[in-house]
Structure 1
Amino acid sequence: MSGDVFGNGLLLSDQIKLVAAFNHMHIFIDPNPDPQASFAERKRLFELPRSGWMDYQSSLISKGGGVFERSAKSITLTPEIQALTGLSQTRITPTELISALLKSEIDLLWNGGIGTYVKASTETHADVGDKTNDALRVDGNELRCKVVGEGGNLGMTQLGRMEFARNGGRLNTDFIDNAGGVDCSDHEVNIKILLNGLVAAGDLTLKQRNQLLLEMTDEVAGLVLKNNYRQVQAITLAERRSLKAMAEYQRFINKLESEGKLNRKLEFIPTEDQLEERRVSGLGLTRPELSVLVSYSKADLKAELLKTDVPDDAYLARELVTAFPNKMVKIYNEPLKQHKLCREIVATQIANEIVNLMGVNFVDRLVTTTGTDTSTVVRAYVLVRDAFDLPNLWKQIEFLDYEVDAQIQLEMMERLQYLVRHAARWFVRNRRGGIDCASETEYFADSIRSISLTLGNLLCGEPRTEWEDAYQRYTNAGVPSELAKVVAGSGVLFTALGIIEVTREHEVPLTRAAQAFFSLGERLELHWFAGQLNDLHVDSYWQALARDSFRDDLEWQQRALTATVLQVDAEASDVALDAWIALNKTHLERWDKVLSDLKLAKTQDYAMYTVAVRELFDLARTCKSS
């Protein structure tokens, strides 16, 4: 139990079965440990002023185990050690035993010490640069553990991680797994900058400062754990869509590289040819590679935000308080606003949140596909986040840890990401003059909530069936009903923005506008049409742009068509729609023919949808309301 990283890690649960460990002096092996008894003994050793594995009570070690000196010439293997390691020899050197232990079939390989113990099969020991451990080091494709956790730095080479990941292993990187220490230091520095200033000004005594730091310890720890929990969550979400979004990731990597922000060779990011080979083979990026992109994405976005007025925007600058404990915010709210690193902290908080919740290239993709700038996309994100109550929804999904299947949670998060991407794009496209987060949130939030909670009643036809199926599946899995209602409808909920715009422009009740919007969409089969657009295969950046453009046009045309239905002189939405259909019979027959041709087509291509979207535009332009 020597070393605080290893020791602390092994005291996080009394369910851990520590079957083997080694340090510079000893090899500890307990082939079939008693979890509670061994936990208590590890705790006893950890609390001693100094301890080593030789202090471990031998009576607590299971049959066939023991503590062995690394300086011994050889070690006799018991049947239990042979079973653990898969070795058939009866005597081997300590170094050979450590290598075998590293390759043993276990759940978790936990590194809490110094040294590089795993490389890639394509690397030489000289490439690693850790001569001390050359004799015992193994290759990534030799590991048989399920997961690697890196409490210490440089326990594996990056290529070794990638090789293990390609073999089905689960891991991140050292700088992700042990980021808590750096994060904690950042919080400490930011807190002390403010408190030291108050002490210097005579507004706080040193004794009061130290007491306050002590009182905030647990809350700071909570902030750090939340940051790291979400960072790993971001990697998992990125991994799930890695293959599908390969073209987007490639473009993002090339952008960082061309701007001199990423050294591809230094970070072992695959070449374009290698990435293309993976895509063709049905393989995406590995978690270690995505870990690098997450880190670079956050750093790049923060740097870009500091060039803008985002950190100075009164609404966005409220993110400052999210970096500090509530106790400190409550007592020193006004001094916090004058923090020496205020702009940097705001930019950091926004960048971290966007990358954690929306992925590495969310901002870059919207900037590229809409022609807007970073500050506009960030404002659109914050507006959508607040108007759609994203933090509350996301947190509710996280609270379901260990209560529902993790795959259900991740799917729900992906649905919310889809909602935010489309809603943010809507604001970028529809607020060309600038985005005022405060006023827009105030205007949209209540109406969005009203639609989201009644969506099941407003939808009809295929969208209603899809909503019911998703809602039922989520509630059956244990998701609370209210949360399931909103998430089940997130695929169409962004259309609430257009509906709300129609109510403002034509002064009609929200429910009537929503009913007209969805009923019209069902008659024109626009939900089916939108699904076809979403399913278009994207092989290039230009095809991605074209698909986004199609979806923008579809939303605009459906909104325009809804406005003409609402102009029909009728009290009820269904009566108005029937009258509108009768007035535009000829135009609708042409649209129906387009849909029929699309459904009969053996292959789908972009030219077909270019024509179809144009036909829909003509329908919106020429239809009559009286």
Structure 2
Amino acid sequence: PNPVAAQSFAERKRMFALPRSSWADYDTALISSGGGVWSRELKSIAISPQMREALGIDDGVEELSPPELIHAILLSPNDLLWNGGIGTYVKASFEANVDVGDKANDAIRVNGDQLRVKVVGEGGNLGVTERGRIEYDLAGGRINTDAMDNSAGVDCSDHEVNIKILLDSQVSGGQLAAANRNPLLESMTDEVARLVLADNIAQNTELGFARTFADTYVDVHARLLKHLAADHDVDLELEALPTPLQLRKRFAGELHRGLTSPELATLMAQVKLTTKADLLASDVPDSDVFLTRLSRYFPEPLQQKFSEGILGHRLRREVITTTLVNDVVDLAGATHLFRLGEGTGASTSDGVRAYVVTAEIFGLPELWRRITTGDTETAAIDEMLLYSRRLAFRGSRWMLAYRPQPLAMAAEIKRYSARIERVRDELPTWLGESSTNDVHARSARFQKLGVPAELADDVAISLHRFLLLDIIDAADIAERELTEVGELYCAILEHLGIEGMLTAVSDLEHGDRWHSLARLALRDDLHAALRSLTLKILELGEPSESATEKIAEWELSNASRLTRVRGTLDEVLSSGTLDLATLSVITRQLRSVIR
């Protein structure tokens, strides 16, 4: 019951290296007091005080049969139950043993709500039924799914297959000697492990994020479940996923819980599967913008030696699609594409194009890498991801609204990347007092959570970088310098109190789909008004004038309209009510000034 880890590891290693061995070969001198190794054929096993304490067995129990003892081990109060073998050992209380389909373990199987461990890890498959996992999670346990916990094995197999396809094509083409194939393959073991674990870490980061905000996202998840069932023929019952109604009832009831970790893991898997199918049916994977992505999938020795072979890989489309889907779901979030489609009507392929452009021009993958690596606390990571992902979502919506469809990804990246990079350090100097205060307060909050100052600053200003899209377009339309347009745009944002209105829109109740769409439409209207107003004032002002002078000149010719707008704004602010109705009225009046 109290092993010395180093000694027991060495002994197991010795024992398993024997030509033929069983647990009877274990050196009993290394077993701690009160422990032992017993045959499962025995009628009963005496319970020592040490066993009783370790397994939480009642005082009156003096002996147990082997199945009873294994049952007790499964129910012991420990930190971790690790399943790495064959068989199903945990089910839900409402499931019958006959439903599990593993008769050999019927006598020892336990229910999810009986487990007393803090965490269940699944190195083996089917150790817990899906409903058993959910029951354990709802009872306070920590568990994912077997598919999530041992996904690195599947990922490793995929890499192995794709690498062998490449190497075999090079052998048959004469670019690689057959004798060198296997040594080259073996030499890349560590790098393949690194690539695989990076995928594994990314999807576990997203699963952790989804767990944190499961209650917040209940309505979004309910709508996503409905979408998967109705539009992608996902059988919710078969996948042990709740119906939208069941999820809402659970959240409204005594449990007050959103999706559990096992359900979220299954939901993520279904989103990836359906997204992959949609992309493979489109021309998205054929874009040359993904050639670097394709190359990065393979270990560096192959990138250097067989770059042409990689480009001609017969599963090129599948490799690109798989890695692309992993990025969208693991980095932008499992609900990203669904919310994008729900709000804009965009197809999966158009949504992915918009994500690719937005992520690239704003350098989001690198920002997210910085957020999720290092020693930052999980709570801070989740909060920074939540905030910075808003840039991915709003940027994607903007690309779908303002750029020609389908997006020419390479051209759009070329159009925006260099200019965003050129002015990203200028942006803080353009922001007005309220915007600056918001950024500083957010950065201070992140730093209080232990985030390094440079990263905290980058995340805190990330959403304001969204403004650069309108600024760049306005500069092109008006044929004016980016700095001039940026200064004016941000001055208007501050001068008319639009920053405060945008914050108020974000604070509106998220609620159901209609609340969500109304909030998105209102934000779009405010940004459209700001964009139009910038262009209008640029028409009247001269490049040599300051932003303040341009605004003052415009105000002179719109005095009566502005008086009405300010009157309404003052009335609303003094009432303390910034709801959908009042914000809609203010936005409408603001747009009337532009006419």
**What is the aligned partner in structure 2 of residue 114 from structure 1?**
86
- For 2:315 and 2:573, the matched residues in 1 are separated by 58
Give the superposition deviation at 1:600: 5.2
Please give the secondary structure, in 2, of the residue aligned with 1:494.
Answer: helix
Identity over aligned residues, as a percent? 40
Cα displacement (A) at 1:295:
1.0
Query: CA offsets per residue over residues 192-231 of structure 1, 9 Å max, x none?
Result: 1122122223332221211221122211111111111112
Distance 1:208 1:462, change over 3 A: same
Alpha-carbon distance in 2 for matches of 1:450, 1:337: 32
Work out whether 1:212 is the aligned partner of 2:184.
Answer: yes
1:345 is the counterpart of 2:319: yes
Measured against aligned partners, the alpha-carbon deviations of 1:408-462 in whole angstroms (never above 9, x if no partner) come to 1222222221110111111111113442222322232233234444444332323
Q: Which among 55, 69, 72 is matched to residue 39 of structure 2?
A: 69
The question of 1:489 aligning with 2:461 is answered yes
The 3-state SS of whatever aligns with 2:503 is helix
| Structure 1 residue corresponding to 2:380, chosen from 401, 404, 408 | 408
Match of 2:54 in 1: 84
Q: 1:553 aligns with which of 525, 528, 534?
A: 525
For the residue of structure 2 that corresponds to 1:242, the secondary structure is coil
Q: Which residue of 1 aligns with 2:135?
A: 163
Closer/same/farther in 2, CA of residues 120 and 606 from structure 1, 3 Å limit: same
Find the aligned partners of 1:581 and 1:36 in 2 and give their Cα distance.
Answer: 78
Using the TM superposition, name which of 481-490 and 152-161 deviates more: 481-490
Equivalent residue in structure 1 for 2:497, among 516, 519, 525: 525
Q: Deviations along 1:90-146, whole A, 9 cap, x unmatched?
A: 222222222222122211110000111111111111221211111111111111211
Unaligned runs of 5+ in 1: 1-29, 622-626
Deviations 1:368-417 (A, max 9, x none): 321233222211111111111122212222321xx121111222222221
Change (3 A) 1:40 1:609: same
Q: How does 1:211-250 map to 2 (within 5 A)?
A: 211-250=183-222
Q: Tell me, yes or no, if the aligned pair for 2:226 and 2:243 is still in contact at 8 Å.
A: no
**360-369 or 281-290: which moved more?**
360-369
The separation in 2 between residues aligned to 1:292 and 1:47, in whole angstroms, is 38
Distance in structure 1 (CA, Å) of the matches to 2:74 and 2:249: 31
Counterpart of 1:323? Answer: 297
Contact 1:310–1:316 at 8 Å: present in 2 too? Answer: no
Alpha-carbon displacement from aligned partner over 1:297-333 (angstroms, at most 9, x marks no partner): 1111111111111111111344322321121122111
In structure 2, which of residues 351, 355, 375 is the aligned counterpart of residue 381 of structure 1? 355
What SS is found at the alignment partner of 2:38?
strand
Q: Which residue type is aligned with residue 44 of structure 2?
A: S
Q: Is 1:131 the counterpart of 2:99 in the alignment?
A: no
1:278 aligns with 2:250: yes
CA contact (8 A) 2:46 2:64 kept: yes
Alpha-carbon distance in 1 for matches of 2:11, 2:475:
68
The reply on whether 1:392 has 2:362 as its aligned counterpart is: no
Which consecutive residues of structure 2, in runs of 5 or more, have no partner in the other structure? none
For residues 103 and 455 of structure 1, the distance between their equivalents in structure 2, rounded to whole angstroms, comes to: 58
Q: What is the aligned partner in structure 2 of residue 536 from structure 1?
A: 508
Q: How many residues align?
A: 589
Question: Residue type matched to 1:34 in 2?
Answer: V
Q: How much has 1:576 moved relative to structure 2?
A: 3.0
Which piece of structure 1 moves more, 449-458 or 228-237? 449-458
Q: Does 1:144 align with 2:116?
A: yes
Q: Is the 8 A contact 1:165 1:287 kept in 2?
A: yes
The separation in 2 between residues aligned to 1:441 and 1:79, in whole angstroms, is: 69
User: How many angstroms apart in 1 are the aligned matches of 2:590 and 2:17?
Assistant: 73
Q: 1:595, CA displacement in angstroms?
A: 3.0
Tell whether 2:338 aligns with 1:364: yes
70-79 vs 404-413, which deviates more?
70-79
Moved more, 569-578 or 333-342: 569-578
**Equivalent residues in 2 for 1:301-320 (5 A)?**
301-320=275-294
Closer/same/farther in 2, CA of residues 484 and 157 from structure 1, 3 Å limit:
same
Match of 2:310 in 1: 336
Separation (CA, whole Å) in 2 of partners of 1:47 and 1:527: 68
Name the SS for the 2:530 alignment partner. Answer: helix
In structure 1, C-alpha distance between the alignment counterparts of 2:115 and 2:144, rounded to whole Å: 15
